[in-house]
Every structure is written in structure tokens, then in C-alpha cells.
């Protein structure tokens, strides 16, 4: 199991905060498909099947601090 890059973790965190590929892409100035690709590679690095699992594993490993999240209301 490898570690995701800082950029992959940033994209994961922003995606969790924003709740959609489009919103995360807007926040990061990336195309939604680029966000999706970052998330796919991040999931592979963490050896999980879903983005939610990637987030949970990243939090468990101390790679993302959930207290730093700013969840945007829908």
C-alpha cells in the first residue's frame, strides 16, 4: 500500500467538503473529470474501493484531519 500524494489528499478533502465533482473542480480550478481521476488514483493508493472509504482510511492514518473540514451546505 502506497501513500497518496499531497495533491491527491487535497483533492479528496475538497471533494468531501464540496460534495460533488463539479463543485470540487470549481474550488480547485480543475475539470470535474480531473477531480475524478485524482480520486481514482487516491483510492488505488489507499487500496480501497470507494471515495468514502478513502476518506475514512486517510483520517484513520492521520493524513486528513476531519476537524479542518469545512462542509458546504447543499
In a domain? residue 38: yes
In a domain? residue 60: yes
Tally the domains of the chain. Answer: 1
In a domain? residue 74: no
CATH label of the domain that carries residue 52: 1.10.10.10
Domain holding 55, by residue range, is 6-64
In a domain? residue 50: yes
In a domain? residue 1: no
The full DSSP string for 23-59 is HHHHHHT--HHHHHHHHHHHHHHHT-SSHHHHHHHHH
Cell of 15: 471533494
pTM of the model: 0.91
- pLDDT digits (tens), the chain, 74 positions: 679 999 999 999 999 999 999 999 999 999 999 999 999 999 999 999 999 999 999 999 999 998 888 876 65
Amino acid at each position: 500500500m502506497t501513500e497518496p500524494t499531497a495533491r491527491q489528499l487535497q483533492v479528496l478533502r475538497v471533494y468531501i467538503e464540496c460534495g460533488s465533482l463539479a463543485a470540487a473542480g470549481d474550488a480547485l480550478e480543475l475539470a470535474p473529470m480531473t477531480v475524478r481521476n485524482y480520486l481514482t488514483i487516491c483510492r488505488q493508493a489507499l487500496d480501497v474501493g470507494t471515495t468514502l472509504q478513502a476518506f475514512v482510511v486517510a483520517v484513520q492514518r492521520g493524513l486528513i484531519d476531519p476537524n479542518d473540514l469545512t462542509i458546504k451546505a447543499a
